Structure 1
């Protein structure tokens, strides 16, 4: 289950890559704009200001996120991004911080390119920080002797969950697209105690939280907090720097 409130704790920081991605999409009057993996809808709700004449379509696989998006005034639908098919008039397809949850999404991107109309825009952004200490330490703790039995059924994503910009550029160029691919590392300023732990609780730690009861979850969080505090030391002013790499791709279909 997703917790929209936890996810939105750092809404401004999570939203910045979305806006920087969309700034590189020069579509002028698209017929249909799709947000595939709309989450709580706070970013999707900004799209009509950019393209007021477009028909807006939004989908997410989480019932909690769909409910939150509808509360934002977005007519979101519950759907699996991995099996969803774009309608023939889809001129802009956005996937923001979603495809890292879809195994084998390279094949999905090839399919989408073949299904989108000529001259459509495909814009995606995925986190590229799976080899950062926040994720490495989480996987290491989960695999430790103390936790591996209790978390035997939990699969945590590694660095192979997403590609590098060159990987996506090659894939989409081979499919006939004109491609703009880049990466950005944001040095995020987080406030409060255990700030990095709170950040990943809304995303990376979801599978672990779902597998543990309340007492075990509190114990796991406590142990991980100590590891993260050493990797990401809190500054004297109470803030913590979290370097966060993200991968961006904008493709124009042939």
Structure 2
């Protein structure tokens, strides 16, 4: 679910599925109770939706996404689960219709997403939960170098307005404040994971599946320009994330919130 509507490549995204799923599992561990009606908002290729079904096999689970590519992959890989097209910017389920609304690495693509919290909290049954995690690494070299390059003289005319900035997500404290003001009991925290990636240019391979999608989409009709951008960005990433004897360490900060409706 994106603001700039980038094109998605499910196969590329899933290349680091184990690392990407770890924060979701940590989020899931803090979700209380046994919800019956669950929405996975921004389900992507459905791999974490399947984890919800593993934990609550009798629940009615629906994955929502606005990417046709991701939904097609989710339906093909997980035919027993339900997936529907929806956009987090406008999705407003009926009041009291869900026991759990959960979102994994999606809300950073939704400008002003905290303004949607009242609708989503209203959609929870009494005691229901809104739970989400978002990347909090927009000031990390992987994203800062990407923005710096997009805003450089060579690229700014085509790419300067393409990428998100470090205000794409809030701090844990800000999420706690917004959600407690809606009458929720809130658990908010952050974690920095140190992923050990392998292979050639693994950080570039990672961001090709997520943060770099707007650039790849903007340049998809100009392969020469796309390859030139990737060449410059690859060189900068190699310097910022040197490979070690066992792989390339990739620090990645995540922000979490679990809000339980008390009404």
TM-score range, shorter chain: over 0.9
**Structure 2 residue matching 1:117: 3-state secondary structure:** strand
User: CA–CA distance in 2 between the matches of 1:133 and 1:179?
Assistant: 31
Question: Which residue in 2 is equivalent to 1:42?
Answer: 47
For the 8 Å contact 1:60–1:78, the answer to whether it is kept is yes
Which residue number corresponds to residue 157 of structure 1? Answer: 164
Identify the match of residue 13 of structure 1 among 19, 23, 27.
19
Structure 2 gaps of 5+ residues are 1-6
Contact 1:27/1:92, CA 8 A, preserved across alignment: no
Is the CA contact (8 Å cut-off) linking 1:142 and 1:148 kept in structure 2?
A: yes
Partner of 1:96: 104
Equivalent of 2:137 in 121, 129, 133: 129
* Deviation for aligned residue 1:58: 1.1
SS in 2 for 1:24: coil
Give the match for residue 146 of structure 2.
138
Unaligned runs of 5+ in 1: none
Match of 2:241 among 224, 232, 239: 232
Describe the superposition over 1:183-236 as per-residue Cα deviations: whole angstroms up to 9, x where unpaired: 000000010121111111111111111111111111100100111111111113
CA contact (8 A) 2:101 2:120 kept: no
Size of the aligned set, in residue pairs, is: 251
- Following TM superposition, the consecutive aligned residue runs of length 4 or more in structure 1 with deviations greater than 3 angstroms are none
Query: In 2, distance between residues paired with 1:9 and 1:48?
Result: 22
Quick check: 1:86–1:116 contact (8 Å CA) kept in 2? Answer: no
Tell me how large the CA RMSD over aligned residues is: 1.1
Aligned to 1:250: 258
Separation in 2, partners of 1:127, 1:235: 24
Contact 1:58 1:75 in 2 (8 A): yes
Q: Does 1:69 align with 2:77?
A: no
